[in-house]
C-alpha cells in the first residue's frame, strides 16, 4: 500500500484530535463566567465535567462491544460535525434562554462528549492502520496534539476575553465550533485505510494472575486520571478565585503551561523513556507533593508553580498505565484496552466532580468563615484549598497501589511483549484524557 496515499487522511486525524481539545479545555475556562452570569454552583459545574466523561465512557464501551454494527469510515467522517453541533448548542442556548442556561450547557456537553468518545475509539486505530515508516512517532504526535491544542485554546481565549470581555463567551465558543468542520471536510475528501475487523474484541484470556494484573492496571489508570483531571479542569478557576491572579495571566501561566508541560513530557518519554513503572511511581509521588503545596501554601507564586508542574508529573499516568499493561500482560485483546479506557474515564468523571462538591460544601460550612478570618482568606479560598487537599488522596493511593503493582508483577514473572507488536495491540484510547 502506498505510504503517500494517506497523507491527507493522517492530517485529517491530526486536525480532528487538535480541535477536540476545545471540548475539554474551553468549559473550565468559562467556569467563573458561567457562575457569575447564570448563578451556576460549583457542584453543577463539576457535574458538566462528570457528564462529559461519563458520556465518553458509555460511548467507548458501546462502540467497542458493538462496533460491527457501525460503518467505521462513515462514523469517522461525521464525528467532527457532532463536535460542532454540541459546541453550537452549548453557546446559543444560554443566549436564547438565559434563565435555563444550564439545560443548554448540559445538552451541548452530552452531544460533543459523544464525539469525544468516538475520537478515542476511532482516531488511534485509523492512524495505526495507515502504512508508515515510523508508526510510534505518528501515534505519539497524534496524542501530543491534544496538549498543544489546549495551549492554543487558552491563548486564543485569553486574547478574546481581553478584547471583547467575558460576557462574549458564546461567540468564542461558536468560533471553536467552526474548526471541526475543517476536519470533517478533510475526512470527506480523503481515502480511508483498511482497518482490523472488530470481531477481534474478546475477553481477556489467561490465568487468574493475569486477571488480577489487569484489575491492578485499571485501578492504576483510574487514580492517574483522577490526579491529572482535577487540576486540568479546575486550574483556571483556582488561579482566579483562590490565588486572585488575573484571569488572563492565570490562564496563560496556569492552564496553558500545564498543557505545554503535559505535551512535552509525553514527547520526551516517547523519545527517551523506559522503565514505565518507575516513571509512574515518580509521577504519582510528585503529584501528591504538588497538590499539598497548592492546598497548604500561602505563597501564590509557589502555588502557581505547583499547579503548572502537576501537568508534567501527571503526563504519563494515563498513557503510562496502558504501556505498563502491554509490557506486563502481553497479548491482551482490545477488550482489555476498552476496560482501561473505562477506568480512565471514570477517574476523569469522579475526581473533578468531587472537587466541586468539596468546594461548595466547605465554603458553605460553619467553620469556613472562622478559619478564613484566622488565615486571611475568603470562604471560597478555603473551599478551593480544601478541594485540592482532598484531591491529593488520589495520587497518594495511586503511589501505594504502584508499590504493590511493582511487587506483584515482579513475583509473577510476566514476560515482556514481542518487540514488533506495537501496532498489533494498538489501544483504542492510547492518548487518553491524559489525553
Q: In this structure, is residue 180 part of a structural domain?
A: yes
State the residue range of the domain holding 410.
206-415
Same domain, 371 and 285: yes
User: What's the CATH code of the domain at 14?
Assistant: 1.20.1250.20
Going by the DSSP 8-state scheme, the letter that residue 254 receives in this structure is: I
Q: Quick one: average pLDDT of 96-125?
A: 89
Same domain, 197 and 240: no
**Calpha distance 57→52 (Å, rounded):** 9
Same domain, 217 and 76: no
Q: Which pTM value belongs to this model?
A: 0.74
Same domain, 39 and 109: yes
Same domain, 160 and 261: no
Same domain, 171 and 282: no
Q: Which three cell numbers stand for residue 374?
A: 484566622
Same domain, 147 and 233: no
Going by the DSSP 8-state scheme, the letter that residue 255 receives in this structure is: I
Going by the DSSP 8-state scheme, the letter that residue 253 receives in this structure is: I
Q: In this structure, is residue 146 part of a structural domain?
A: yes
Q: Which long-range contacts (CB under 8 A, 24 or more apart) does 297-302 make?
A: 298/375, 300/243, 300/244, 300/245
Residue 67: predicted pLDDT: 61
Going by the DSSP 8-state scheme, the letter that residue 421 receives in this structure is: -
Same domain, 259 and 275: yes
Residue 112: predicted pLDDT: 94
Same domain, 211 and 134: no
Contact 292, 392 (CB under 8 A): yes
Same domain, 124 and 161: yes
Whether 186 shows a pLDDT value over 50: the answer reads yes
Same domain, 310 and 231: yes
Q: Quick one: average pLDDT of 43-69?
A: 79
Give pLDDT tens digits for 293-347: 999 998 888 998 999 999 999 998 988 887 888 788 876 655 677 678 778 888 9
Same domain, 176 and 227: no
Q: Which long-range contacts (CB under 8 A, 24 or more apart) does 103-112 make?
A: 105/34, 105/40, 105/48, 106/47, 106/48, 106/51, 109/27, 109/48, 109/51, 109/52, 109/55, 110/51, 110/55, 110/86, 111/82, 111/85, 111/86, 112/23, 112/82, 112/83, 112/85, 112/86, 112/87
Rg (the chain; Cα; Å): 21
Overall number of domains in the chain: 2
Amino acid at each position: 500500500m502506498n505510504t503517500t496515499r494517506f497523507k491527507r487522511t493522517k492530517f485529517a486525524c491530526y486536525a480532528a484530535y487538535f480541535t477536540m481539545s476545545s471540548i475539554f479545555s474551553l468549559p473550565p475556562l468559562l467556569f467563573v463566567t458561567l457562575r457569575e452570569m447564570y448563578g451556576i454552583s460549583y457542584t453543577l459545574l463539576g457535574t458538566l465535567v462528570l457528564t462529559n466523561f461519563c458520556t465518553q465512557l458509555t460511548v467507548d464501551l458501546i462502540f467497542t462491544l458493538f462496533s460491527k454494527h457501525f460503518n467505521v469510515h462513515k462514523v469517522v467522517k461525521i464525528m467532527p460535525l457532532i463536535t460542532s453541533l454540541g459546541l453550537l448548542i452549548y453557546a446559543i442556548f444560554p443566549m436564547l434562554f438565559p434563565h435555563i442556561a444550564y439545560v443548554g450547557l448540559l445538552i451541548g456537553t452530552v452531544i460533543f462528549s459523544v464525539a469525544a468518545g468516538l475520537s478515542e475509539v476511532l482516531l488511534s486505530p485509523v492512524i495505526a492502520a495507515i502504512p508508515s515508516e515510523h508508526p510510534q512517532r505518528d501515534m505519539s504526535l497524534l496524542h501530543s496534539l491534544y496538549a498543544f491544542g489546549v495551549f492554543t485554546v487558552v491563548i486564543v481565549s485569553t486574547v478574546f476575553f481581553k478584547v471583547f470581555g467575558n460576557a462574549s463567551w458564546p461567540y468564542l465558543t461558536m468560533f471553536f465550533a467552526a474548526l471541526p468542520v475543517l476536519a470533517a471536510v478533510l475526512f470527506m475528501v480523503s481515502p480511508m485505510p483498511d482497518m482490523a475487523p472488530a470481531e477481534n474484541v474478546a475477553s481477556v484470556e489467561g490465568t487468574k494472575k493475569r486477571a488480577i494484573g489487569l484489575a491492578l492496571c485499571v485501578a492504576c489508570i483510574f487514580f492517574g486520571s483522577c490526579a491529572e483531571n482535577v487540576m486540568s479542569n479546575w486550574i483556571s478557576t483556582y488561579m482566579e478565585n483562590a490565588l486572585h491572579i488575573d484571569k488572563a495571566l492565570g490562564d496563560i501561566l496556569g492552564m496553558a503551561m500545564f498543557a505545554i508541560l503535559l505535551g512535552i513530557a509525553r514527547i520526551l518519554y516517547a523519545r527517551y523513556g523506559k522503565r514505565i513503572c518507575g516513571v509512574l511511581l515518580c509521577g504519582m509521588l510528585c503529584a501528591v507533593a504538588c497538590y499539598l503545596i497548592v492546598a497548604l501554601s500561602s505563597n501564590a507564586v509557589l502555588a502557581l508553580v505547583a499547579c503548572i508542574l502537576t501537568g508534567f508529573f501527571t503526563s504519563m499516568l494515563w498513557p503510562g498505565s496502558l504501556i505498563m499493561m502491554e509490557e506486563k500482560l502481553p497479548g491482551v485483546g482490545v477488550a482489555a484496552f476498552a476496560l482501561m479506557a473505562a477506568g480512565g474515564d471514570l477517574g476523569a468523571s469522579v475526581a473533578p466532580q468531587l472537587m466541586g462538591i468539596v468546594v461548595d460544601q466547605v465554603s458553605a460550612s460553619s467553620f469556613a468563615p472562622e478559619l478564613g478570618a484566622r488565615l486571611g482568606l475568603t470562604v471560597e479560598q478555603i473551599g478551593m484549598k480544601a478541594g485540592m487537599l482532598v484531591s491529593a488522596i488520589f495520587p497518594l493511593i495511586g503511589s501505594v497501589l504502584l508499590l504493590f503493582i511493582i511487587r506483584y508483577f515482579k513475583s509473577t514473572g510476566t514476560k515482556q511483549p514481542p518487540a514488533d507488536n506495537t501496532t498489533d495491540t494498538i489501544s483504542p484510547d492510547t492518548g487518553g484524557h491524559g489525553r
